[in-house]
């Protein structure tokens, strides 16, 4: 008895760990000899709010079954998104099918500026500041998959250095904004 109870609490913890969002529900009708056979396909976005996100498509005779299938598929295929101060490290332009998506890092406090399909993926991942633009199609499924593909292409600066086989290279240091303004002012005077 106690083992069953412990397993249930473990399952509840894993369920609470992820936020699930239904992006699109399609009713699909198939003509058969006996009449119409109706089923549903659901696109789900699952994320933990800490940089992991997954997308899943579930198909079943009822909506609840399709949601369950979509969320389990998404949980099995999670990707880790590298984030820098609750935003992405660099700009991404991607084209997948008819969908064209531009994702840009934003300053802290900007918030999520994104359309419905992109917003679902971004919020599930836990990104707080981002600018995005959806070009091309208005199909939510295409836009979700394009956003997911865009996040898969993000590369850390350390990985680039490692690929170039440079050792012990520190990332460029940020210039103090006050010093930068003073140097601009001095250059203008002379």
DSSP string for residues in 70-117 = HHHHHHHT-EEPP-BTTB-SS-EEEEETTEEEEEEE--TT--EE--HH
Given a cut of 50, whether residue 8 has pLDDT beyond it is no
Give the pLDDT of residue 132: 92
Give the pLDDT of residue 1: 47
What is 17-155's CATH number? Answer: 3.30.230.10
pLDDT digits (tens, 9 = 90+) for 159-187: 777 777 755 556 555 555 555 555 555 55
Stated pTM of the model: 0.74
Burial 35-62 (b: 16+ CB within 10 A, else e): eeeebbbbbbbbbbeebbbbbbbbebee
- The answer to whether the CB of 122 falls within 8 A of the CB of 97 is no
Give the pLDDT of residue 182: 52
Q: From CA 108, how far away is CA 35, in angstroms rounded?
A: 56
Best CA proximity match to 151, nearest among 84, 79, 98, 87:
79
Q: From CA 169, how far away is CA 57, in angstroms rounded?
A: 42
pLDDT digits (tens, 9 = 90+) for 112-166: 998 888 999 999 999 999 999 999 888 999 999 999 999 988 877 777 777 777 5
Best CA proximity match to 141, nearest among 18, 59, 29, 60:
59
Best CA proximity match to 89, nearest among 185, 15, 156, 161:
156
**Range of lowest pLDDT (6-15, 57-66, 72-81, 149-158):** 6-15
Give the pLDDT of residue 177: 52
Given a cut of 80, whether residue 86 has pLDDT beyond it is yes
Q: From CA 130, how far away is CA 122, in angstroms rounded?
A: 8
**Residue 157 vs residues 12, 61, 164, 170, 183: alpha-carbon distances, Å:** 37, 46, 11, 10, 28
How buried is residue 133: exposed, middle or buried, by Cβ count under 10 Å (0-12/13-18/19+)?
A: middle
Give the pLDDT of residue 11: 43
Structure tokens at 94: 């991607």
Q: Where along the chain do its domains lie? A: 17-155
pLDDT digits (tens, 9 = 90+) for 10-41: 444 455 688 899 999 999 999 989 899 999 99
């Amino acid at each position: 008895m106690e083992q069953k109870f412990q397993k249930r609490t473990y399952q509840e913890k894993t369920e609470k760990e992820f936020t699930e969002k239904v992006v699109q529900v399609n009713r699909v009708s198939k003509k058969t000899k006996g009449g119409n056979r109706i089923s549903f396909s659901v696109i789900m976005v699952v994320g933990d709010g800490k940089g992991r996100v997954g997308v899943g498509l579930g198909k079943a005779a009822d909506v609840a079954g399709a949601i369950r299938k979509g969320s389990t598929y998404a949980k099995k295929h999670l990707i880790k998104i590298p984030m820098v101060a609750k935003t992405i490290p660099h700009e991404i332009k991607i084209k997948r099918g008819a969908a064209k998506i531009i994702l840009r890092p934003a300053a802290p406090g900007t918030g999520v500026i994104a359309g419905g399909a992109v917003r679902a993926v971004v919020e599930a991942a836990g990104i707080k500041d981002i600018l995005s633009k959806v070009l091309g199609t208005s199909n939510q499924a295409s836009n979700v998959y394009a956003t997911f593909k865009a996040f898969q292409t993000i590369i850390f600066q350390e990985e680039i250095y490692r690929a170039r086989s440079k050792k012990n290279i520190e990332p460029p240091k940020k210039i103090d904004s006050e010093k930068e303004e003073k140097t601009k002012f001095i250059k203008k005077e002379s």
